[in-house]
Structure formats: C-alpha cells, structure tokens
Chains A and B, each alone.
Chain A
C-alpha cells in the first residue's frame, strides 16, 4: 500500500492490521516515534495525521489512507520548529524517550490553538506520560513555543 510520510510517497509491504507505529519503525526505519504501551495510554507514539495528533500504536496502517503522516523526523528538517526550539531553550528533556510524542502533541496543539491556556495545555498533553517527570518544563516550553509562534506571525 501507499503512504504519505513526511511529504514523501512511500510504498510499504505490511499486513493491514499492523499498527502505523510498527510500519514507521520496523518497515520504514523511522525510529523517532516510540513504543511505550501499545494501547494509546502513554502518547510516546504520537504522530500527526493531516495535522491532528494521533496515537500510532493502535492505528491499523490500512486506516491511514491518503492522509499525510508527519513524524518527529518530519516536523522540521533540523530541530527548528518553534516547539523544538522552546524545548531546547527550556532544557526539557531527560531520558528523552517520551519527548518525540510530547513534542508532536504540543506542535498539534499550538497549530490549532495559538494561545493555549494552562488548562488547554494540560488537556492536550494529559495523554503523554513522562516517567522522568519533565512536566513542569513541558508546560513552560509549550507556553514559550506558542508565544514565539504568535510573535513571528
């Protein structure tokens, strides 16, 4: 089947029920999207489907269709997305494993809601678990990214 991943059409040979996560990781070699729970509970596998944050670990690849898949590798060529810049500036990461998922959730949030309230941030990122406990800096970085994005428009 054909997938549109990070702006490129990719032909993939995978069973229809294989979750998008494993197509990305095991078939296409895009390992930035992480496996954490396999049941849409932790958010480590978050990618964008036509700009919406989705959990790729429970999404059968056959359900993707022609929608555009964006992974952490495709968010920006060099880590220059406002969310990634804020993340570096605030020094959010610790072990880093959940961070691609956190960043993808945050990027989808500020794309749709340029001025998220703290409640909006809490709601949008409640599905992304971080066991290192980077949450406080995650909040700060999302606020900062939203502010930078507004300023640059």
Chain B
C-alpha cells in the first residue's frame, strides 16, 4: 500500500470514527475565519488529536519545507499539553479556512512567520486540550480538576494516573474551556531546549513522501512544453511524432503550452523531446530581452528620481555641502530558486471534486485557482500537502502557476495526472528573484559622519498585478523592493536622505526568493556603509557601532559576532574579514566572514561568525540549522548563481551552468543565539541577507578591490 492510500484510509477511519484510531476530534468543516482570529481562542480540535494509543497528532497549518516547523510548532503544543514527546505525530492540515495564517488571513507559509505567528495559537490549543483531558479525568475520579496535575502524557491524582490515551474518548465530550492560562516562561520544559527534528526518521530512510512521490493506480505523468521566451504564445503544433512514442497517451493543449501525458515520466520526457521541434511560437516582445541591455537601461533610469519611498531633509543640497562624497552602483542578477525537488503537482478531477497532492506554500490561493479552472466550488478542492523538497518562495506564487497548470492538464486529459517539471523547466520557468540595480550617493561631513544619502533603486515589482498589490504597493512603491533600505537603522541618524524606486516592467515573471528584497538591499546598504567607513578612515566595526549607538539589539549582535570572530586581531596569512549587520523579518543578524583568494582568483569563504537576535528562541538547534542553511543559500548567490537573458532566452539550464554552493565551498558557520525580550522574529530567511556584503567587504579588505556585482568575481588587479 502506498503512503497515500494509507493516509486516505486513516482519514476515512477518522471520519467514520471506526477502527482503532478513534480520534479526539476532527477538523470542523470549512468555517469562516473571524477577523480577530488571533484574539479568539482557537478550536483545539483542529490542531490536536489525542488517540487511545496515547499518540498525540499535531495538525500543521503551515507547510514543512525544511525550516523545521514540523518540530517547532509541535513543541508549542507539547509544552502546554504536557504530553510525552515520543508520542507526538505531525500531519499537514488539509486546506481549510480554520488553518488561515493568523496574521495574513489565508493558509500559507512564508515571510519567516510560522513560529511567531503561531506562538499563541498553538500553545493555546495545547493548553485547551490539556484542560479537556484534565476535566475528563476529574469526572472519572469524581474529584475537582484543581486536585489534578499533568506530566508526560498522563493526568495524575495522588498515586493514580490515567494516560491521555485512556482519557481521549471521554475528553471528546468535554466543552473546550472558555479561557486558559499559558505557562510562564520559567515553567517551560521543552521550549527553548535544542530539540531534534521529528521528521528525521522518515527523511533518512527514504519514506518521507514528497509531491514527486505521489503514486496511485491510474495516475499518469505529464511534461509540458512551454514557450522558450517569456510571454510567447503557441501558434501551432504537430503532435504526431510525440504520439508515436511508446507510453505516450495524449498530447493536449493548455494555456501555458502543450502537455504530453504518458504512463510514466520517461515516456512523457521522450514524448516531449519529440514534440519540441514541432511547436511554432509567436514569441512577442519577450524575444528581444537581454539582461546586459536591461542592466544598462537600469543604470540610466537610476540617474533620475523614481517614486519616493523615504525622504527627509534635502539630500541633494546636503550632498553638495558634504566634505566627502561616495557614489556607487550595486547590481544583482535574476536568480532561480532551484529547490532540489523540481516543481510538480498531482491533480484528480472527478465527481464535482478536485483533489490536489503537492508541496505548496500557498494552499488558499491554489484552492481558489484550482476551483476556477476545474469549475467546482472552492470547498470541493482538497489539497493534500506533501513534504516540500525546498520552497524558498518558489512554491508560493500569487498566480498558483504550477498548480493552475496541473489542473489545466488534468482537466484537458480527463484522467488523474501528475505534472512534473524537469530541472531545465525550473531554471527556464521564471518567477525569479528580479534583477536589481542600486545607485547610492552618500556624503560625509568633515568629521567623517554620514550627512546625506541619496538612493535610487531599479527593479521589477514582485507584487504589482497580484492580489497583494492593494496592501503592499503604496504610491508606486512595492514594499518588497525597498525593504531593508527605507527602515535601515543606518539611515535614521542621517539628516538628509532620499530613497526612490523605479519599477520597470518586462515579461519576465518575478517572485520572492529567500529573504526577498533584503537579498539586494542588504548587499547595497552594507557595502556602502563599508565604503563610507573606509572613506572616513575608520575601522568598519567602530564606524558601524557609532551609527548604531541608539540600536542596542544591532549593537549587541554586531559586537558578539565581531568578538567571536576575533575582530581586531590579525587573521591567518592570506585571509581577511568583513562584516555586516542587517535586520529583516523581525530578527537581527550580524555576520563576520573570513575569506581568502586562491591562485585562480576564486573567492573562498572559510568561516562565518554569526550572531542572531530573534527575540525568544523556541528551538536553538533548529535556529542554528536555519542560519547555517540561509548562509549557504546566500553564498550560492554571492559566489556562483546568475541567470542571463540573451534574445529572450535564459542561457542557463541546469546545475552545470546554474552553479550553486556545493559541500567543499561550505564555510564553518558558528551561530550565537542571543535571546532578547523583543517580539519574536523569523529565522528562515534573515541570515541570507547580510552574507553578500560580509563577503564583499572581506574581499575588499583582502584585495583592495570593491566588488559591486553579484555574484562576486575578482578580476586581476
């Protein structure tokens, strides 16, 4: 039996209440999320199930894509429930309004928000479940609940104890409490303790099921031939060759191209290979796109004022008065997310229902898109979220691109289909981190303190034309294009500043990529700060510390990272250090990178000392993993990755020419988790942002060359 049918059976037995698995409860049917969901008590039944076998199942409202919430959110419930950690199971919740993100109102995973946004809801669900179990035990023992306590999965009364499993059925009949008191931090037994992942056993044995692994009788595999240039339209095609390939069953036209539907991947691949030369495209305006020309155009635009994102004083006048001026342009290329699991989505449309199995970060959008295409009500679209083989933002498209397409394929084919992308499809498929250019003109006064900052940013808007535009694009400024600049603590003390934005349009689709705008804003700002420190003749740490004197959290992180890295001491021969500090997603990250350059002028990053202030730390072991991983993800962009467009086509196609970080390039990353009383921040993304500048600043310290383009490439001096 495949995992899928096992899970199906499990769900059915839960719904019927039959069999051994008598659930504590099941998620209520679709119910509108109240606007003040955060303030109301959650329905504990939607988040926790206690079964007679003592297992406690946590339903995950968000998707596990490597970031560790399978463990972290379970910890929140387990802490308040006082359950036996070894009895915890986790499942992805179905797509339903009750699982809407407490801050965003739709079911989704992104923005490094899962842990802080669920901190109260998941703990409360755990506490409510505990209260119901205690009430059931009190009724059994005919005593007052006040006389009972809980520990490690049991309710205890003097020398007697009842396990949660023994109380599960009786607890179903209890009314959820009207209010619960959450534990004081001092009482935590689990939260804050380094805790190993709950999904390790299945992921190290190959049993973990990703979207790509979904199988059931009658399921077909499809590959789609899409336009080779962005925005191209199919004019005609000849399917005869493709249909002659053994195993190919159908060749169907869909809005994004032509799908070859076959009995397995290999037949579909061979069929599509046969089809590709027999497609005629009308390429449209996208055919003339060239990334080098685009960058030149951006440079020109950066000379003029764009939409105002932040303004104080008269930056032009202050620049004219400055004792010293530094002008620099920084640019970053288009980047693919390239998650290890290529995109895929399985769809079955049958009997007025649409069932979807996929790894997605955006269940609500997918459900809406699928309903429209399949022609069924939204509540008739079920989404079975599978483990995500990496997300990094790519699996959260406002257009539901890969899910919508797969629904079109299944609809056109009239059979259940898994639409699979190859790596080439992924690299060519758009939804990239946009190409960006920053032009910064800064002025120092005679004491070497920054007094003017004029900053022009040029790059495509991620949010324009999406449902998020109305909330996050104001007066022509997409918040994700300027985040990390407008609220930079470095800019605050500068009396005259102006930040403006140009958002040129072109047919290349763009999207958030781990740490979003901060991927380029941290590079530009932290590089410029370093350039200013050098222009002022000051030590980069001392210069930053002076600017951040009113920012105790930034200062603390900066000093902690610098101290651990031995800032001020001489590094080994042939090495130098660079630093950067950046706040994003509510967390502050300071990094010191230690680099060398080999004979081939290749930059080697040996060590990264990183200090993290994310407020309360739920799972320090997971935080360390996320910081190491985010730095590795960032280093791919710093050292290797770049997509270029020539005649409208992306020139790279797979990992042989779209290079990413490999194990020999991985530095030794040491992570200091600095807890603070600040509001909890995110941890999946923030450490990606500052690594580019930390490395570029170190390369400058070592070679005297200031590299202002990513990926960083040294040219002989």
Contacts and interface: CB of A to CB of B under 8 A. Distances in A.
Contacts of A19: 266
Contact of B663 (A41, A84, A135): A135
A95 B422 contact: no
Contacts of A130: 340, 632, 663
Nearest to B622: A91
Interface in A108-130: 121-123, 125-130
Contact of B246 (A15, A26, A97, A132): A15
A96 B203 CA distance: 5
A79 B204 contact: yes
Contact of A35 (B2, B65, B212, B424): B212
Greatest chain A CB density within 10 A among B204, B265, B392, B664 is at B204
A71 B206 contact: yes
Interface residues of B, number: 64
A22 B65 contact: no
A59 interface: no
Interface in A72-119: 72-73, 76, 78-79, 84, 87-88, 91-100, 103
Contacts of A51: none
Contacts of A88: 196, 200-201, 204
A44 B196 contact: no
B203 A99 contact: yes
Contacts of B661: 133, 135
Which bucket holds chain A's interface residue count?
Answer: 35 or more
Contacts of B221: 26
Interface in B170-205: 196-197, 199-205
Contact of B390 (A18, A41, A95): A95
A152 interface: no
Contacts of B660: 129, 131
A34 interface: yes
Contact of A84 (B205, B340, B632, B664): B205
A102 B206 CA distance: 11
Interface stretch (B41-49, B132-140, B143-151, B623-631): B623-631
Nearest to A61: B266
A2 interface: no
B201 A122 contact: no
A72 B203 CA distance: 10
Interface string A135-150: 1111100000000000
B666 interface: yes
Nearest to B214: A31
A93 B68 CA distance: 9
Nearest to B666: A135
A56 interface: no
A71 B392 CA distance: 28
B164 to A, nearest CB: 26
A133 B266 contact: no
B655 A93 contact: no
B341 A27 contact: no
Contact of B210 (A37, A97, A129, A136): A97
Nearest to A33: B206
Contacts of A125: 663
A34 B200 CA distance: 17
A9 interface: no
Nearest to B420: A35
A52 interface: no
B213 interface: yes
B169 to A, nearest CB: 32
Contacts of A98: 340, 389
Contacts of A67: none
A134 interface: yes
Interface string B330-342: 0000000111111
Contacts of B654: 37-39, 41
A93 B200 contact: yes
B215 A95 contact: no
Contact of A79 (B65, B205, B266, B632): B205
B340 A36 contact: yes
B286 interface: no
Nearest to A41: B655
Nearest to B64: A95
Interface string B504-543: 0000000000000000000000000000000000000000
Nearest to A91: B196
A97 B388 CA distance: 8
A126 B665 CA distance: 9
B159 interface: no
B299 to A, nearest CB: 31
B232 to A, nearest CB: 24
Contacts of A76: 205
A91 B389 contact: no
Contacts of B633: 131-133
Given A91-B196, A95-B65, A34 B340 contact: yes
Contacts of A123: 664
Nearest to A100: B206
Nearest to B245: A15
A95 B208 CA distance: 10
A10 interface: no
Contact of B265 (A35, A84, A93, A103): A35
A32 B207 contact: yes
Interface in B261-315: 264-266
Contacts of A138: 663
B264 A22 contact: yes
B266 A78 contact: no
A22 B265 contact: yes
21 contacts: A15-B266, A26-B266, A29-B215, A38-B424, A38-B654, A73-B206, A79-B204, A88-B200, A91-B196, A93-B204, A95-B66, A95-B341, A97-B387, A97-B389, A97-B390, A121-B663, A126-B662, A129-B660, A133-B631, A134-B629, A136-B668
Report, nearest first, the 8 A-B pairs whose CB atoms are least far apart.
A32-B206, A133-B632, A97-B389, A95-B66, A96-B203, A94-B66, A72-B206, A133-B629
Given A41-B654, A84-B205, A91-B621, 17 more contacts: A26-B266, A31-B212, A34-B389, A79-B204, A94-B66, A94-B67, A96-B389, A97-B389, A98-B340, A98-B389, A128-B662, A129-B655, A131-B337, A131-B660, A136-B632, A136-B668, A137-B628
Interface of A: 14-15, 18-19, 22, 25-27, 29-39, 41-42, 44, 71-73, 76, 78-79, 84, 87-88, 91-100, 103, 121-123, 125-139
